[in-house]
Protein backbone atom coordinates (compact mmCIF):
# COMPACT_ATOMS: atom_id res chain seq x y z
CA UNK A 1 0.00 0.00 0.00
CA UNK A 2 1.57 3.30 -1.10
CA UNK A 3 -0.52 5.52 1.18
CA UNK A 4 -3.11 5.10 3.93
CA UNK A 5 -5.27 7.26 6.17
CA UNK A 6 -4.53 7.41 9.91
CA UNK A 7 -6.20 9.24 12.83
CA UNK A 8 -4.33 12.32 14.02
CA UNK A 9 -4.82 15.11 16.54
CA UNK A 10 -4.54 18.59 15.08
CA UNK A 11 -3.53 21.30 17.52
CA UNK A 12 -3.71 25.08 17.13
CA UNK A 13 -4.11 28.07 19.42
CA UNK A 14 -7.84 27.44 19.73
CA UNK A 15 -7.42 23.87 20.96
CA UNK A 16 -7.25 20.43 19.42
CA UNK A 17 -9.46 18.18 17.34
CA UNK A 18 -9.41 14.60 16.07
CA UNK A 19 -8.94 14.32 12.33
CA UNK A 20 -7.46 11.99 9.71
CA UNK A 21 -4.39 12.38 7.56
CA UNK A 22 -3.06 10.48 4.56
CA UNK A 23 0.48 9.16 5.09
CA UNK A 24 2.75 7.90 2.35
CA UNK A 25 3.99 4.32 2.62
CA UNK A 26 7.56 3.36 3.43
CA UNK A 27 8.91 -0.20 3.47
CA UNK A 28 12.35 -1.82 3.21
CA UNK A 29 13.50 -3.17 -0.15
CA UNK A 30 16.27 -5.77 -0.11
CA UNK A 31 18.38 -5.89 -3.27
CA UNK A 32 20.40 -9.07 -3.69
CA UNK A 33 23.15 -9.40 -6.29
CA UNK A 34 24.31 -12.86 -7.28
CA UNK A 35 22.64 -14.35 -4.22
CA UNK A 36 24.20 -11.95 -1.69
CA UNK A 37 22.54 -8.96 0.00
CA UNK A 38 23.82 -5.73 -1.52
CA UNK A 39 21.65 -3.06 0.14
CA UNK A 40 18.41 -2.42 1.98
CA UNK A 41 16.60 0.70 0.79
CA UNK A 42 13.74 2.39 2.64
CA UNK A 43 11.27 3.40 -0.08
CA UNK A 44 7.64 3.77 -1.12
CA UNK A 45 6.46 0.42 -2.55
CA UNK A 46 6.10 0.19 -6.32
CA UNK A 47 8.27 -0.06 -9.44
CA UNK A 48 10.85 -2.17 -7.62
CA UNK A 49 12.56 -3.56 -10.70
CA UNK A 50 13.06 -0.11 -12.21
CA UNK A 51 14.20 1.13 -8.79
CA UNK A 52 16.84 -1.61 -8.50
CA UNK A 53 18.00 -1.09 -12.09
CA UNK A 54 18.38 2.65 -11.60
CA UNK A 55 20.26 2.13 -8.35
CA UNK A 56 22.62 -0.34 -10.03
CA UNK A 57 23.37 2.19 -12.77
CA UNK A 58 24.04 4.94 -10.23
CA UNK A 59 26.25 2.69 -8.09
CA UNK A 60 28.33 1.50 -11.02
CA UNK A 61 27.06 -2.08 -10.78
CA UNK A 62 25.72 -1.89 -14.33
CA UNK A 63 26.48 0.27 -17.35
CA UNK A 64 23.79 -1.20 -19.61
CA UNK A 65 20.73 -3.46 -19.30
CA UNK A 66 22.76 -6.20 -20.97
CA UNK A 67 24.92 -6.38 -17.84
CA UNK A 68 22.01 -8.12 -16.11
CA UNK A 69 21.62 -11.83 -16.67
CA UNK A 70 18.30 -11.60 -14.80
CA UNK A 71 16.57 -8.99 -12.66
CA UNK A 72 13.25 -9.51 -10.92
CA UNK A 73 11.41 -10.38 -7.73
CA UNK A 74 12.71 -13.25 -5.61
CA UNK A 75 11.42 -16.77 -6.18
CA UNK A 76 8.74 -16.24 -3.50
CA UNK A 77 7.51 -13.13 -5.40
CA UNK A 78 8.11 -10.99 -2.34
CA UNK A 79 7.63 -7.35 -3.49
CA UNK A 80 10.24 -6.28 -0.94
CA UNK A 81 13.06 -8.41 -2.38
CA UNK A 82 14.73 -8.01 -5.79
CA UNK A 83 17.18 -10.62 -7.05
CA UNK A 84 19.78 -9.61 -9.62
CA UNK A 85 22.15 -11.90 -11.49
CA UNK A 86 25.00 -10.27 -13.35
CA UNK A 87 26.62 -11.64 -16.45
CA UNK A 88 30.02 -13.19 -15.62
CA UNK A 89 31.92 -10.70 -17.75
CA UNK A 90 30.33 -7.79 -15.87
CA UNK A 91 30.94 -9.37 -12.47
CA UNK A 92 34.64 -9.66 -13.28
CA UNK A 93 34.88 -5.90 -13.92
CA UNK A 94 33.51 -4.75 -10.54
CA UNK A 95 34.87 -7.06 -7.82
CA UNK A 96 35.51 -4.19 -5.39
CA UNK A 97 31.92 -2.96 -5.59
CA UNK A 98 30.49 -6.43 -5.07
CA UNK A 99 32.86 -7.24 -2.21
CA UNK A 100 31.72 -4.46 0.09
CA UNK A 101 29.28 -5.21 2.89
CA UNK A 102 25.63 -4.32 2.50
CA UNK A 103 24.31 -1.04 3.85
CA UNK A 104 20.98 0.49 4.77
CA UNK A 105 19.97 3.58 2.80
CA UNK A 106 17.45 5.84 4.49
CA UNK A 107 14.85 7.77 2.51
CA UNK A 108 16.34 11.09 3.59
CA UNK A 109 19.82 10.43 2.26
CA UNK A 110 21.01 8.24 -0.58
CA UNK A 111 24.52 7.89 0.83
CA UNK A 112 23.68 7.00 4.45
CA UNK A 113 25.51 3.87 5.54
CA UNK A 114 28.32 4.07 2.99
CA UNK A 115 31.33 2.51 4.60
CA UNK A 116 34.00 4.60 2.94
CA UNK A 117 34.19 7.87 1.10
CA UNK A 118 35.77 5.87 -1.72
CA UNK A 119 32.41 4.11 -2.17
CA UNK A 120 31.08 7.37 -3.59
CA UNK A 121 33.66 7.63 -6.34
CA UNK A 122 32.49 6.47 -9.74
CA UNK A 123 33.93 6.29 -13.20
CA UNK A 124 32.01 9.21 -14.66
CA UNK A 125 32.08 10.45 -18.24
CA UNK A 126 31.02 14.01 -19.12
CA UNK A 127 27.56 14.40 -20.65
CA UNK A 128 27.46 15.66 -24.20
CA UNK A 129 27.70 19.44 -24.43
CA UNK A 130 25.52 21.69 -26.56
CA UNK A 131 22.01 21.17 -25.19
CA UNK A 132 20.34 24.58 -24.77
CA UNK A 133 16.86 25.52 -23.62
CA UNK A 134 15.07 28.81 -22.91
CA UNK A 135 14.45 29.56 -19.24
CA UNK A 136 10.69 29.93 -19.80
CA UNK A 137 10.50 26.40 -21.16
CA UNK A 138 12.36 25.15 -18.10
CA UNK A 139 9.78 26.82 -15.88
CA UNK A 140 7.04 25.06 -17.85
CA UNK A 141 8.73 21.75 -17.06
CA UNK A 142 9.07 22.63 -13.39
CA UNK A 143 5.36 23.47 -13.20
CA UNK A 144 4.53 19.94 -14.31
CA UNK A 145 6.17 18.48 -11.22
CA UNK A 146 3.45 18.98 -8.63
CA UNK A 147 0.71 18.31 -11.19
CA UNK A 148 1.99 14.75 -11.62
CA UNK A 149 2.55 14.03 -7.92
CA UNK A 150 -0.56 12.15 -6.81
CA UNK A 151 0.94 11.19 -3.44
CA UNK A 152 2.14 14.72 -2.73
CA UNK A 153 -1.34 16.07 -3.27
CA UNK A 154 -2.66 13.69 -0.59
CA UNK A 155 0.23 13.48 1.86
CA UNK A 156 2.46 16.52 1.30
CA UNK A 157 5.42 14.25 1.97
CA UNK A 158 6.72 12.82 -1.29
CA UNK A 159 9.46 13.62 -3.76
CA UNK A 160 9.41 13.28 -7.52
CA UNK A 161 11.77 13.10 -10.48
CA UNK A 162 10.88 13.90 -14.09
CA UNK A 163 12.91 13.29 -17.24
CA UNK A 164 12.32 15.27 -20.43
CA UNK A 165 13.71 14.61 -23.89
CA UNK A 166 15.39 17.15 -26.20
CA UNK A 167 11.95 18.43 -27.26
CA UNK A 168 11.12 18.89 -23.56
CA UNK A 169 8.43 16.25 -23.71
CA UNK A 170 7.96 14.22 -20.51
CA UNK A 171 9.43 10.73 -20.98
CA UNK A 172 9.69 9.40 -17.41
CA UNK A 173 8.25 10.20 -13.99
CA UNK A 174 8.50 8.64 -10.55
CA UNK A 175 7.37 9.56 -7.05
CA UNK A 176 8.64 8.26 -3.72
CA UNK A 177 9.05 9.25 -0.09
CA UNK A 178 12.81 9.44 -0.80
CA UNK A 179 14.29 11.86 -3.32
CA UNK A 180 17.02 9.47 -4.46
CA UNK A 181 14.50 6.63 -4.79
CA UNK A 182 12.33 8.73 -7.10
CA UNK A 183 15.37 9.48 -9.26
CA UNK A 184 16.45 5.82 -9.36
CA UNK A 185 12.95 4.80 -10.46
CA UNK A 186 12.66 7.49 -13.15
CA UNK A 187 16.10 6.72 -14.54
CA UNK A 188 15.55 2.97 -14.20
CA UNK A 189 12.50 3.06 -16.47
CA UNK A 190 14.41 4.71 -19.30
CA UNK A 191 17.46 2.54 -18.65
CA UNK A 192 15.59 -0.76 -18.86
CA UNK A 193 13.64 0.38 -21.92
CA UNK A 194 16.97 1.32 -23.57
CA UNK A 195 15.87 4.91 -24.07
CA UNK A 196 18.02 6.72 -21.51
CA UNK A 197 20.01 8.41 -24.29
CA UNK A 198 16.83 10.31 -25.21
CA UNK A 199 16.68 12.08 -21.82
CA UNK A 200 18.11 15.61 -21.72
CA UNK A 201 16.58 17.44 -18.75
CA UNK A 202 15.99 16.29 -15.17
CA UNK A 203 13.65 18.07 -12.74
CA UNK A 204 13.70 17.12 -9.04
CA UNK A 205 11.53 18.16 -6.12
CA UNK A 206 14.51 18.53 -3.81
CA UNK A 207 17.84 20.12 -3.15
CA UNK A 208 20.61 19.01 -5.48
CA UNK A 209 22.80 16.89 -3.22
CA UNK A 210 25.94 14.89 -3.99
CA UNK A 211 24.31 11.52 -4.59
CA UNK A 212 21.70 13.01 -6.93
CA UNK A 213 24.40 14.66 -9.03
CA UNK A 214 26.25 11.34 -9.15
CA UNK A 215 23.13 9.49 -10.31
CA UNK A 216 22.42 12.12 -12.97
CA UNK A 217 26.02 11.99 -14.16
CA UNK A 218 25.97 8.21 -14.40
CA UNK A 219 22.84 8.57 -16.57
CA UNK A 220 24.63 11.15 -18.78
CA UNK A 221 21.96 13.80 -18.16
CA UNK A 222 23.30 17.20 -19.28
CA UNK A 223 20.91 19.40 -17.24
CA UNK A 224 19.32 18.96 -13.82
CA UNK A 225 16.95 21.36 -12.07
CA UNK A 226 16.17 21.23 -8.34
CA UNK A 227 13.01 22.71 -6.82
CA UNK A 228 13.83 23.04 -3.13
CA UNK A 229 11.99 24.67 -0.26
For 122, which DSSP code? -
Please give the distance of CA 35 from its chain centroid, rounded to a whole number: 23
Let me know if 112 is a catalytic residue. Answer: no
**What's the length of the chain?**
229
For 35, which DSSP code? T
Contacts of 78 (CB under 8 A, 6+ apart): none
Quote the CA–CA distance of 26 and 17 in Å, as a whole number.
27
Q: Which residues pair with 73 in a beta bridge?
A: 82
Backbone phi and psi for residue 15, each to the nearest 5 degrees, phi listed first = 135, -155
Q: Per the residue annotation, which of 56, 74, 109, 112 is the catalytic one?
A: 109
85: exposed, middle or buried (Cβ count in 10 Å: 0-12, 13-18, 19+): middle
Alpha helix locations (H) across the chain? 48-59, 88-91, 95-99, 135-148, 150-155, 179-192, 210-218
Q: What value, to the nearest 5°, has the Cα angle with vertex 105 and ends 81 and 84?
A: 35
Quote the CA–CA distance of 138 and 193 in Å, as a whole number.
25
Quote the CA–CA distance of 162 and 130 in Å, as a whole number.
21
- The catalytic residue positions are 109
Amino acid sequence: MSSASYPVIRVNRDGSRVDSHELIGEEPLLIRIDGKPYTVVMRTPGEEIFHAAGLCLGEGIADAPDDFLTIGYCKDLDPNVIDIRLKPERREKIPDLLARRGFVSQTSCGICGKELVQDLYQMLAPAENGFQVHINRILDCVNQLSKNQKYYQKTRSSHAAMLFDHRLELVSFAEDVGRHNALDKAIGKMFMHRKLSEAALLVLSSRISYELVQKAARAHLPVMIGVSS
